Every structure is written in structure tokens, then in C-alpha cells.
Structure 1
Amino acid sequence: MKTNHVSVLIVGAGPVGLATAALLRQHGVAVRIIEKNKGPTPYSKAIGIHARTLESMHALGLTEQLIADGHPMHKFRLVEDGRTIMAAGFSNIGSPYSFVLGLPQSRTEQNLLARFQELGGSVEWGTHLTGITSCGNPGMPDAPAVVRVQDADGVEQTISCNWLIGADGSRSAVREMAKIAFPGGDYGNAFILGDVKIDWDGPKYDLQFFLSGKGYLLLIPMPNGMHRIIAQTDQTYEDFQQGERPATTLQELQQIVNRNGPGNLRVHSPQWLTCAPFYHRLADTAVKDRIVLVGDAFHLFSPLGAQGLNTGFQDAFNLGWKLAFIEKGWADPQLLHSYKDEREAIARRIAAVTTKTTRYITATSLPQRLLRRYATTWYNRTERVQTALPRMLAGLMQSYGADAALSGLSAAGLPQAGSRLPHAWLPSGQAQRPLASLIHGTRFTLLLVINRLDEQSLSALGQFWNASNRSRFPFLQLTVIARETALWQDRMPAGCDLIDDRLGSLFNALNEYREAMILVRPDGFCALSSKSWSFDDIVRYFANCHFDAQSAISAVSTQEEKLLYAA
């Protein structure tokens, strides 16, 4: 059987697989993506998209389209036996997207698929993985991963690939065939999920949890007048281990709504009904030889808090540029270790928080409920709930830390290495754009921030961004941000963008420092920060983090890739 070779083979064309594929195609990397289903999902499935994901989606140019398709939810509240015990909002989270976006997964996938197709990609529907012959060896260029697949017509083929990505969900064939363990547990009870229309006189536009001694009910608004309902049932995890999944009806959902809900709420016009237990699981490793896991194949969380899909997207944004840099020869394969370390640490923290939170919310015994009611009512007044909790849910507090493999120097008072950059608005024609739209993409962004440009600073800039330095790192984009720019637009060095921060938004976010240098990774995380401009610091950073400081644009191997990279 003839063996076909591709740089990256992705198994699973769900939202995380499609995002990873589109990110790689933006770099010009050859990608094949296979999906065992015959087409995109028609179901809503995961519906909550958080602010950090919307910021990151600027890398694919999809942020505005996703927002246009979805329903923004600006607040959330917990109601215990008819009494509000917690109420908070997202207005002060420090993001241009101060809400949770209710958007069916089916629509999210359509947008990602369209973007992937614009970049020249296509999904091989009805094609599934039948075996992994070799996991490959990233330390040996001539030792790719080798797999067998079968297409919709039953034709089998062998594919070798530099990287095999398992984006095929909780029952991942890639993970199982690679013999990567997936330990974890469940929450005892099963839950009913329904996408329905509702008749109810209560508030319908924000996230609402209704808690009682009989269980909980979560009400989530969606586009077009639909609502997602997630409710606790009397069924258990064991009920789903014996043959077929128990059937779910609208009548059963209505009975649970009557029991667990706010009262006088009628459900009708269902688009999707299902019942399932919820799990928490984490793969023993995210990377094994040339195999990489992303999304639900890598981690499973309780759906309360909408962390699963958002964490999967951050896997994709972390992984995409790293694999692309390796394939272009800009970085050593050791760079992939940083994906494993960074994403496993984040997944562990999210698993711990969501597991604790789910058990807290689903508790039904009287002592647990009394403790929950009084403790939550007290905590509701604190900064921890009103500010920190919304930021945590939105993904804005996630950090890879100063000790992470890709973290360089950090200056006090400036963004710390491994963390997200603060939000700022920057002028764009007659309007404004968020800083997030500038720093997410295919390259590292080097921000040189200065209060006022003059002849002296312009001379220093010319020395900093001379022809020799420009040629050393083809993956580096330089941007100067200043409060006064009008006199200097025509005197910028080649390959240097100049942005006017006349309102001082970024300067306020940076604690009014008059001069700063911030290196930002393609996934929007700070790589290093300094209060002075030093190209030597940039050289040392890339040398220490497995990047090839001598590489040039000639490392891009094909004309198609050159055009894509230039775009």
C-alpha cells in the first residue's frame, strides 16, 4: 500500500481540530484533517465562549463574526430556593469582550470551517483512523508517525506525518491507540440537556443557576430566542454503562424544570435533547513522540463554567504557531515540550476548580445547602466574587508563569512573562481597535512603547531595527506605540509599524511608563518585558527558547508558503 506523507495530520474536525488546522494553514503548513462523521455537527453542544477565546480569535479574523452570530450574556446569578445568593457581572473584567457569548457549537464550527477552506484546506469527511503503526520520533527527522485510515468508500491508505494531532474528542481513537491513559472520575448524577424555547415571566438574558434540595438547573440564553437548560436528574453514572443511553423526552425535561426550576417556566419547541453523565479526566500526557492531544481528547471538565471548549481553543492557539515554527525550521522540536508543560499545568488547575465548583453547586443535603447559602451570600459582597471570579471564568487570569520554558525577563510594573497583556484601545482610522487584534497572529510582536518620539529616540530606533537585526528573525513584527506620532510617520525604519496612542490607553494599562519593550508570543502571551530597548535581550530570549536565531525567510520552502506568510 502506497504511503502518503503530510506535515500534520489532524484526527477530528470539531471546533478545536478546525481551529488548529486553520492556524497551521495560515502559516502555509501542509495539513490533512479527517473526521469519522459524514459532515459538521448539527447540534449545539458547547455554547459558551469566553472573553479570552474571543481575544484569541483575532488570530483567525473570526472575532467579529462569532459575536455577530451569538448572544452576549453580561451577568450571572445563583438563586437558592427563590433567593438570590450570588450576582455578578463581566463589565469590569478588563477585556473588550465583557460578556460570555452564547453560541451553538454548530455555528462556531461553520465559521471555523469556512476560514479553513478560505486558506485552501478541506475536511475528509467519513474517514476514520484504523491504526497507528508508529508514533514516530521527533529527535529523528526520518522517523515520522505512521497511521492507517479508511475513507467513506472503505478505501484504506497509509499516511506518514511529522505530527499527528488527536482532536477527536473524549473517546479519542488517537489517544487510545497511542496507549495514553485518561484517568479521572464522574459526579454521580447524570444531567439532562435541552435546547428549547421557554415561556416565563422572569429575566431571560443572562446566565442563571437555580439551586434546591432536589438538584440544580442552569438556564443559558442562546440566539434566536432559544435557551439551553442543564438540569440534574435522578439517573446515575452507572445507568449509562449498561447498553444504550437512556432516552430523553420534552415531558421529562418539563418535569425536571418544574422540580428544580424557578417555577412557572414552560419549555417547548426543542431543537436538541440528550442526557449524559459529566466527567473530569486528564490524559497522562499531552505529547507522546510525534503525537499531540488537544481539546476533549486531552482533558474533560464539568460543563459548569463553560471551560471545556475554551480550554481546547487555547490548546490550539498555543500549539498551532509552535508546530508551524518547527516545520519551517525556525525552532527546534524541543519547543513542543513547552506545549506539554504549559497546557498540562493549565488543565490541572481548571480540572481542580471545576470539580470543586460542580460538587458545591450540585450538593443537595440540608447541611451542605445551608453552608452554601450563607457562605455564598457573604462572599458575594467581596472582590473575590465581584471581580476575580468573572475574570477567572473569562480565562483572563490564566498564566504560564515566570518559570515557564518560554518566559524571559520581566520588569516590575509591566506585563509579566507568561501572562496575558492588559486590554487597551488603540486608534484605527476614525474608530478604535483592541490591543488583542494587534498581538494575535502568526508572528511574535515586539512592542516598543515610548511617550514621545523625537530625533534622539528615532535614531535609537534606527539602530535597534537595522537591516541586520530585521533579517535575523523573519517571525518578528516590530510595532512602535507612541502618544505623539504625527511628525514621524514617514521616517520609520523598514518593516516597522507606528501606532498613535493619543488617548493614552496603553500607557494607562502599563502604569504610565514612559518607555517599555514587550515581546508578545503569537498566542498573545507576554514573552518578556523590559523598561529599556535592547535587541540583545531579544536575541538571548530566542536562543534560550529553542529558536534558530540565524534562520531567514528562505527557510519557507514553497512559493505558496511564502505568499501565505507574507499575507
Structure 2
Amino acid sequence: MHERGQANDSGARVRDVIVVGGGPVGILLAGLLAVRGVDVEVVEQRAKPSLRSRAIGIHPPSLRALEQLGVAEEVLARAVRIRGGVVRSDGRTLGRLAFTETVDRMQSVISLPQFETEAVLRARFAELAPGRLRGGVTVTGVSERGGRVAVETAKTVETAKPGGTHGTVEGIGTGGTGEGGVSAGETLEARYVVAADGARSLVRDLLGIRCTARTGGETYLMSDYPDTGEHLGEAVLFFERGGVVESFPLPGGRRRWVAMTPTLQADATSDDLAALIRARTGTQLPPTTAEASAFSVQQRLATRLVAGRVVLIGDAAHQISPIGGQGMNLGWLDALQLAPALERALRDPEAASGVLGDYDRRRRRSARMAARQADFNMAMGGPVQGLRLRARNGLVRALAAPPASAVLARAFTMRWL
């Protein structure tokens, strides 16, 4: 299909594609490329996968990507299906949305903690391309060299500190090796490089690509609790005076609870969150061993997603509010388009500029649409009083009724992105 097994001047192999970042977006893309016969390798800063729950929602368009990789059924078997959503305020139901009426499982909205999804993707990639995921490796430089991209690397050293771990970069030339045998200071080469290294993308910074900031700054607190069984199979949004509270089912009889907070509450506990939820909604949550996590919403879009032979994907390309479950799914939809685009660029170099330019335009457009939807989600969930509260509740009732409900359900399940 295209040239394979090339070597650089030192005799080292030149890959078709190197993916920088082994999170769910980078690994999915790498798997989709491997299925197409592309010679792909992944370098990941973390020596071990994160066990944080993080993203949980998986929408129908993403299931198409998982199906192409051959892991959709396994993910579905591990996940729980979200049948629809209910909106409540002051103890009353304002409306309901049914996400799907079909028996086609690939049209489901499902919930699965990110670390479990990532484990499935990593296992599949290991089957398709054994030994091609190299952990504990930090990229320190990226440059084009005559139709190839050189990727400078260093070993990542994990050092413990209070509250968790963080990675530091061991100096180039120290002779250390990361998982998979990458020496500190080794230069890897590929015909294309994909930056899937997250919102603080080092590759994007090395390329000098700027990000335009959108609205943001809202703060939230989340944790997971045992499911009380009150809202079986439904996502619940509590539009209350003090701010939104959201609840989503998880596998294993648990639920994710998220509440908007007036400020970033980095030191808050799960007990603090449970008390806030009880005060706003009247819901009494069971004790949990899970830790609370506070976060502040930032929304940014890279000014371009393609720079020569380097392409941005996922959070490196666009940072979208996690409210609404769009972040990981939007990155997967990037991968669904980028995999065939890269395959064609490798096979037909004359078409490369056109297909990658199309990727840039289409995915930036989708990211802008997703950001507008996230803006709407956050605005609807803000604290309100009096007439504004009644007006918002009236709008929710109207949106939850046909025909608007069908359009809204389509938007929340990302079927137009």
C-alpha cells in the first residue's frame, strides 16, 4: 500500500506514523491506523496507565470508531447503558429525554470509566502492533527533515509528591531506557507525527501553534458514590438555584455526581460534595471511599490542526468543557476522520495536503460546534433566582417536549459532530 520498513541515515526504522500520547484518543487512533496496515508507534509520557475515572460517557458516533477497531462489543459488555435523561428542579420533574428507542446496541449512550476503556484499547493495540506502545518517554523536540519528522525523546522519571505523582524529564544522554526500550536522548523518525498529548500539549507548543480561548472559568466538584437505585439507567440534571447538580450511572452499582461550585474547591472531600448535593437537591448519598476531584473549565481551540507533517488531535487540538461528556468523544471523532486521511496521505503523497486540510477544516468546525453546545450547557446550569429561574425552567420544559426533544437528544449524543 505504501513504503514500509524505511531506515534513516543511522539505520533506525522510520515509521509511517508516530503518535505522541497514549491516552484513549491516541491509542484509538493508533489502533485504527494499525487495522489499516499503517506502521504506527505510540510514545507515552506515563510509565503506567492512570487509574482515575475521568471521562465516562461514550456516545453512538464513538461506538462506530470502537466497532472499526473491533472492541465495541467488549466495551458495551463492561459499560452500563444510559437510557435517557431527566431534568429536575425544586423536587419536580421538568422534562425527560430518551436517547434512543432502537434495539441497535451501537446506537446506545453508555457509561464506562476512562481507565477501563483505555485498558481495552491498549490490549487491542497490543494485539495489532505488539511492542509499539512505549511508556515512560517524554518528547522534547519535533522537527521536519526532508519528508520525515524527527522526534527527540527523553526518559520520564516519576517522582512522588504529596497528593499524587508527577513526571519529570531525565536529561538527554543519561542512558536510561523507558518501557519498550527507548533510550534517553534517542531520536525517532516517522513520515507523520500526531500530537495526542493532551490540553497542555508539548508538541503543540514546540510547533508554536497558538490556542484561542473561549468562555470558561466555571468550577465543579465531582466524585463517585454507591447508587441508591432511585434513577435506574438515567442521567439526572438538577437545575437548582445554587447551580446545577448532575448524576450519571456507572458500572458496578455506582454513580458519578458533579456539582457546580462558586469557586474551585481543591481541598473539598466527597463528604463535602455530598453535603452540597443534599443541601441543593435533598438527595442523601451513601458514604464512599472515592476521592473528590475539583476542576475548572477551560475551553480553547488551536489556530490550526496541521503543521506540515504534524497533526493535532483530541485535547491537543481543542479543549472542551467536560460537562456533557464531549471531550473524549470529540477526540475519538477526530481519530475516525484522521485515520483514513493519514492512510491516503501515505499512499498518495500528492493528495496529502488536500486530505489533511479537509481534516483541519472539518474538525475545527466540529470543535466550535461542541464548544457552543458546552457554553449552552454551562449557562443553563448556572445559579439563578426569581424570574430568571422560572424562565429557565420554562425553557427546559419546552426543549424537553416534541419536536425540540428529538433535536436536543441528537445534540447531546453528538450525532451532528
Q: Classify the TM-score, shorter chain.
A: 0.7 to 0.9
Greater RCO, CA 8 A, separation 6+:
2
Contact 2:82 2:110 in 1 (8 A): yes
Q: 1:197 maps to which residue?
A: 226
Q: 2:206 maps to which residue?
A: 177
Q: 1:145 maps to which residue?
A: 149
Q: Distance in 1 between matches of 2:36 and 2:399?
A: 47
CA RMSD of aligned residues (A): 2.1
Q: Distance in 1 between matches of 2:310 and 2:40?
A: 15
Are 1:269 and 2:298 an aligned pair? no
Question: Which letter maps to 1:32?
Answer: E
SS of match in other structure, 1:347: helix
1:290 to 309, 332, 340: 309
Contact 1:86 1:376 in 2 (8 A): yes
Are 1:126 and 2:126 an aligned pair? no
Q: 1:466 maps to which residue?
A: none
Are 1:364 and 2:364 an aligned pair? no
Question: Which letter maps to 2:203?
Answer: V
Name the CA shift for 1:149/1:161 in 2 (closer, same or farther; >3 Å). same
Q: 1:340 maps to which residue?
A: 360
Question: 1:20 Cα deviation (Å)?
Answer: 0.7
Question: 1:64 Cα deviation (Å)?
Answer: 0.8
Q: 1:229 maps to which residue?
A: 257
Question: 1:216 Cα deviation (Å)?
Answer: 1.3
2:243 to 211, 215, 223: 215
Question: Which letter maps to 1:144?
Answer: R
Contact 2:277 2:283 in 1 (8 A): no
1:42 to 51, 57, 82: 51
Q: Distance in 2 between matches of 1:394 and 1:40?
A: 27
The superposition leaves residues 444-501 of structure 1 with CA deviations (integer Å, 9 ceiling, x where unpaired) of: xxxxxxxxxxxxxxxxxxxxxxxxxxxxxxxxxxxxxxxxxxxxxxxxxxxxxxxxxx
Q: Distance in 2 between matches of 1:267 and 1:191?
A: 20
Question: 1:226 Cα deviation (Å)?
Answer: 1.3
Question: 1:224 Cα deviation (Å)?
Answer: 0.2
SS of match in other structure, 1:378: helix
Q: Distance in 2 between matches of 1:171 and 1:230?
A: 24
Q: 2:327 maps to which residue?
A: 308
The superposition leaves residues 106-126 of structure 1 with CA deviations (integer Å, 9 ceiling, x where unpaired) of: 111111111111112431111
Q: 2:216 maps to which residue?
A: 187
Q: Distance in 1 between matches of 2:144 and 2:302?
A: 17
Q: Distance in 2 between matches of 1:51 and 1:182?
A: 29
What is the correspondence of 1:97-112 to structure 2 with a 5 Å cutoff?
A: 97-112=106-121
Q: Distance in 2 between matches of 1:272 and 1:65?
A: 28
Q: 1:326 maps to which residue?
A: 345
Q: Distance in 1 between matches of 2:342 and 2:291?
A: 37
SS of match in other structure, 1:224: coil
Question: 1:188 Cα deviation (Å)?
Answer: 3.4
Contact 2:225 2:285 in 1 (8 A): no
Contact 2:241 2:384 in 1 (8 A): yes
Larger radius of gyration: 1
The superposition leaves residues 394-432 of structure 1 with CA deviations (integer Å, 9 ceiling, x where unpaired) of: 22234xxxxxxxxxxxxxxxxxxxxxxxxxxxxxxxxxx
Contact 1:148 1:158 in 2 (8 A): yes
2:88 to 76, 79, 83: 79
Are 1:380 and 2:390 an aligned pair? no
Question: 1:98 Cα deviation (Å)?
Answer: 4.2
Name the CA shift for 1:365/1:26 in 2 (closer, same or farther; >3 Å). same
Question: 1:286 Cα deviation (Å)?
Answer: 0.9
Name the CA shift for 1:366/1:298 in 2 (closer, same or farther; >3 Å). farther
Question: 1:234 Cα deviation (Å)?
Answer: 2.5
Name the CA shift for 1:362/1:312 in 2 (closer, same or farther; >3 Å). same
Question: 1:330 Cα deviation (Å)?
Answer: 7.7
SS of match in other structure, 1:164: strand
Q: 1:206 maps to which residue?
A: 234
Q: Distance in 2 between matches of 1:176 and 1:182?
A: 10
Q: 1:257 maps to which residue?
A: 277
**Count of residue correspondences:** 381
Contact 2:225 2:286 in 1 (8 A): yes
The superposition leaves residues 340-366 of structure 1 with CA deviations (integer Å, 9 ceiling, x where unpaired) of: 111111111111121122112224243
Question: 1:94 Cα deviation (Å)?
Answer: 9.5
The superposition leaves residues 162-199 of structure 1 with CA deviations (integer Å, 9 ceiling, x where unpaired) of: 1111101111111111111122245333111112224x
Q: 2:26 maps to which residue?
A: 17
Question: Which letter maps to 1:162?
Answer: R
Q: 1:33 maps to which residue?
A: 42
Q: 2:159 maps to which residue?
A: none
Contact 2:140 2:154 in 1 (8 A): yes
Q: Which runs of 5+ in 2 are unaligned?
A: 1-8, 157-175, 178-183
The normalised TM-score by structure 2 is 0.86
Are 1:167 and 2:186 an aligned pair? no
Question: Which letter maps to 1:268?
Answer: P
Question: Which letter maps to 1:47?
Answer: I
Q: 1:63 maps to which residue?
A: 72
Question: 1:294 Cα deviation (Å)?
Answer: 0.7
Q: Distance in 2 between matches of 1:147 and 1:5?
A: 11
Name the CA shift for 1:332/1:188 in 2 (closer, same or farther; >3 Å). closer
Q: Distance in 1 between matches of 2:21 and 2:286?
A: 33
Question: Which letter maps to 1:372?
Answer: R
Question: 1:265 Cα deviation (Å)?
Answer: 1.8
Name the CA shift for 1:148/1:281 in 2 (closer, same or farther; >3 Å). same
Give runs of ≥4 in structure 1 deviating > 6 Å: none
The normalised TM-score by structure 1 is 0.64
Q: Distance in 1 between matches of 2:380 and 2:284?
A: 25
Question: Which letter maps to 1:340?
Answer: D
Are 1:88 and 2:97 an aligned pair? yes
Q: Distance in 1 between matches of 2:339 and 2:237?
A: 36
Contact 2:242 2:383 in 1 (8 A): no
